[in-house]
């Protein structure tokens, strides 16, 4: 596992928990299950789309070459792009409101 993998895992961990908390904080208790399911579905859809959009970048960079050196370099480039986007999302997270209004039903 390289430093890029660790950075991406760290970035996902830093964003996922607070995002879930803020997204679901204002949901009434009777709708919490549906909201949680929708949130998890959206997260999985984002992961699938991220993977689907990263693969063409990788294969366009390698041009289908079986050269291991070229494939390794393309993978590192793609991981840096993904890490950069995660860092951007992390920075944008600070633009979100500090406290969500909690409802008591």
Section 6-23 average pLDDT: 76
Q: Return the higher-pLDDT residue of 38 and 11.
A: 38
Structure tokens at 75: 């993978």
Inform me whether the pLDDT recorded for 100 exceeds 60.
no
Inform me whether the pLDDT recorded for 104 exceeds 60.
no
Inform me whether the pLDDT recorded for 1 exceeds 60.
no
Helix and strand element counts for the chain (H, E): 3, 0
**What mean pLDDT value characterizes the chain?**
79
**CA gap 1, 89 in Å, rounded:** 23
Residue spans per domain, the chain = 14-24+32-93
What percentage of the chain has pLDDT greater than the value 70?
A: 85
pTM of the model: 0.55
């Amino acid at each position: 596992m390289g430093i890029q993998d660790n950075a991406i895992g760290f970035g996902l961990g830093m964003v996922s928990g607070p995002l879930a908390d803020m997204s679901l904080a204002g949901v009434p208790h009777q709708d919490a299950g549906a909201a949680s399911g929708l949130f998890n579905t959206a997260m999985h859809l984002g992961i699938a789309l991220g993977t689907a959009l990263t693969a063409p970048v990788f294969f366009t960079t390698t041009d289908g070459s079986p050269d291991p050196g070229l494939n390794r370099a393309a993978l590192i480039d793609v991981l840096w792009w993904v890490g950069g986007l995660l860092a951007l999302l992390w920075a944008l997270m600070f633009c979100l409101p500090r406290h969500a209004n909690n409802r008591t039903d």
